[in-house]
Amino acid sequence: MPTARFDALRGDLEGAYRALLAEAAPDLDPGPGPLRVRGFPGVPGHVRRASGPGWALVGDAGYFKDPLTAHGITDALRDAELLARALLGSTERTRDAALRDYQHTRDRLSADLAALTERIASYRWDLAELRELLPALSAAMRPEVEALRALDHPTDRAA
C-alpha cells in the first residue's frame, strides 16, 4: 500500500493486514489471531558512491531500492561478487580504476531497475500502467542476468 495509507493504519498492524487481505483476496483466510505482523512503511531509494579510501559498499548500503520488486538479495550478492573480483583482480596501482569499474558496472546494472522500482513502489499508477511496468521491470533485469551468467562463463562476456 502507499506509505500515506500505511501511516494511517500503522496503529493496528494486525487489523490493517486483515482488512487489506479481505480487500485484495477475499477468499483467503488468514486464520484466527493473533498474527505476528511487522510493518515496513518504505523509504525512498538511493544510490551512494561505491568506494573511497579504505572502504567500499555492497548491497543495500550502497544502493537501496524499495523491496516491493523483491530483487535486493540478488543485487547484494552481485555487488559482493563484483567487488571481490575487482579487489582480487587488481594491484595497488590499478585498484582505484578497478573500484571505479565496480561502481560503473553496479550503476549500469541498477539504474533502470531502480527507476522502475521507485515508480512501482510509488503506487501512483493505474492497472493499465502497471501492466506495462511489470514487463519493463523484467526486461530491466535481463542485463544483470547476462552479467551474472558471464561471471561463470567469461568467454560469453566478450560476445
Ligand X SMILES: Cc1cc2nc3c(=O)[nH]c(=O)nc-3n(C[C@H](O)[C@H](O)[C@H](O)COP(=O)(O)OP(=O)(O)OC[C@H]3O[C@@H](n4cnc5c(N)ncnc54)[C@H](O)[C@@H]3O)c2cc1C
Under the binding rule (CB under 6 A), the answer on residue 43 touching ligand X is no
Number of residues that bind ligand X (CB under 6 A): 11
Residues in contact with 15: Cβ distance below 8 Å, sequence separation at least 6, in sequence order = 9
Interatomic CA distance for residues 113 and 92, integer angstroms: 33
Is 73 near ligand X (CB under 6 A)? yes
Judged by beta carbon, residue 97 or residue 145, the one nearer ligand X is 145
For residue 156, give every residue at least 6 positions away whose Cβ sits within 8 Å of its Cβ, in sequence order, or none.
Answer: 146, 149, 150
Stretch that binds ligand X, among 70-78, 99-107, 112-120, 146-154 (CB under 6 A): 70-78
45 binds ligand X (CB under 6 A): no
Quote the least distance from Cβ 100 to ligand X, whole Å: 21
- Among the listed residues 22, 40, 149, 151, the single contact to ligand X using CB under 6 A: 40
67 is an interface residue for ligand X by CB under 6 A? yes
Inter-residue long-range contacts of 152-159, CB under 8 Å, 24+ positions, other chains counted:
none
List CB contacts of 48: < 8 A, sequence separation 6 or more: 57, 61, 62, 63
Can you give the binding site for ligand X, defined by CB under 6 A?
Answer: 40, 59-61, 67, 70-74, 76
